[in-house]
Amino acid sequence: MSGKPDLAALFGATSSDTFLGLDQCKDFSRIQASSAFIGVPCATPYGSVGAYAKNGPKSLREAIAALTANIERHNFDLGGPTFPQGTERAVDCGDLEWDEKDFAKNRTIIRDAVAKIAKNGVVPIVIGGDDSVPIPMIEAMAEVGDDFTILQIDAHIDWRKEHMGERFGLSSTMRRASEMAHIKNIIQVGARGIGSAHTNDYEDAVNWGVKFFDARQIHKEGIEPVLKQISANTHLIICFDIDALDPAIAPNTIGRAPGGLSYYQALDLISGAASKAKLCAMDFVEIMPEVDVDGLGGLTVSRLVAASMGIIARQHAKIKTG
């Protein structure tokens, strides 16, 4: 036998341009689904690196393509099919346009798309792209509510006032969120190692009211202390930078660091948070397929996205996960 065995052929999958073979949706104002995959190649890149994660959305579609024929089968991460009977499936909204020079335009496009989708009661799942992408996503949620909690899962805290003269870059995401009136609470999980933050950035976050649970604490104490911080009456935004995961399972990112979260720690954070509060928006960012190892990171992250879609579908239909 020559070449690599084709798992897609083994399962009977056919080629698809959408994530998990889901239906396409182009009209954001008339969308009908539980959640929507939105590819965002870039928002506000730093000049030193540019749009280094622009191929992230495409890579996740390719990573899960082998399972397009398996969408009805039992998903043991969810205790049943990804979209069980009585739930609405997700859709794939394709990739948003982006401009290499007009960053304000990029942010406007992202903000407008997310707002249109969220106003229809559909949960936007924004796939990046670097970690500047969530800023306009978070901003857009002001159009559908005024009391949100952010659960950030990330190796870095992103509280720089600015970096390289840019206020809306990936190192400032949570600080920009803290300045938005509709963001009432921020919980940050997974920080470890050396990042871009200075000690005074961390102190500013603590003084604002951020509850921190670093990666070492999660490994020692589990995720229950995090979940206790999520109020049952809040609306939830999950911001997931994949460098929060251990690079052994997610090497497809620029910010690798040892000691990251496991697949099930991440999945249990998402499902546990959704069991307590209404999940209204979500992102997965810092996906850089060029540095992946044999597709392992794409596999890990695409499975987390698919599981998140199933969790959201169940929440909409009030079906318990597991």
287, part of any domain: yes
* Section 176-195 average pLDDT: 97
3-state helix, strand, coil in the chain (%, to 5): 40, 20, 45
Assess contact for 218 and 190: CB atoms under 8 A: yes
Assess contact for 44 and 99: CB atoms under 8 A: no
Assess contact for 155 and 285: CB atoms under 8 A: no
Query: Tell me: the pLDDT tens digits for 3-51?
Result: 666 666 666 666 679 999 999 998 998 899 999 999 999 999 999 999 9
8, part of any domain: no
CATH code for position 200: 3.40.800.10
**What's the rounded Cα separation, in Å, for the pair 176 and 141?**
14
Long-range (24+ apart) CB contacts under 8 A made by 221-230 are 223/265, 223/268, 223/269, 223/272, 226/151, 226/187, 226/189, 226/269, 226/272, 226/273, 227/269, 227/272, 227/273, 227/276, 229/185, 229/187, 230/149, 230/151, 230/187, 230/273, 230/276, 230/277
7, part of any domain: no
pTM greater than the 0.85 cutoff = yes
- Mean pLDDT over each residue of the chain, to the nearest integer: 94
Percent of the residues in the chain that have a pLDDT greater than 70, as a whole number: 94
Other beta carbons within 10 Å of 24: 12
**What's the rounded Cα separation, in Å, for the pair 96 and 254?**
22
**What's the rounded Cα separation, in Å, for the pair 263 and 244?**
10
- Torsion, Cα 300 302 307 308, to 10 degrees, reads 110
Report whether pLDDT(254) > 50. Answer: yes
Report whether pLDDT(209) > 80. Answer: yes
Structure tokens at 179: 């300045």
247, part of any domain: yes
305, part of any domain: yes
Lowest mean pLDDT among 173-177, 195-199, 241-245, 262-266: 195-199
Range of the domain at 67: 16-317
How buried is residue 276: exposed, middle or buried, by Cβ count under 10 Å (0-12/13-18/19+)?
Answer: middle
The structure tokens 């899962």 sit at: 153
Best CA proximity match to 174, nearest among 200, 147, 153: 153
DSSP label of 66: G
**What's the rounded Cα separation, in Å, for the pair 237 and 36?**
14
Q: Which residue would you say has higher pLDDT here, 5 or 83?
A: 83
pLDDT at 319: 75
Report whether pLDDT(1) > 60. Answer: no
What type of residue sits at position 123?
Answer: V
Structure tokens at 165: 């003269």
293, part of any domain: yes
21, part of any domain: yes
Cα 75–chain centre separation: 20
Report whether pLDDT(171) > 90. Answer: yes
Query: Tell me: the pLDDT tens digits for 289-313?
Result: 999 999 999 999 999 999 999 999 9
Place 69 in a pLDDT band, splitting at 50, 70 and 90.
confident
3, part of any domain: no
What distances in angstroms separate CA 152 from CA 16, 177, 274, one per listed residue?
31, 11, 14
Total domains in the chain come to 1
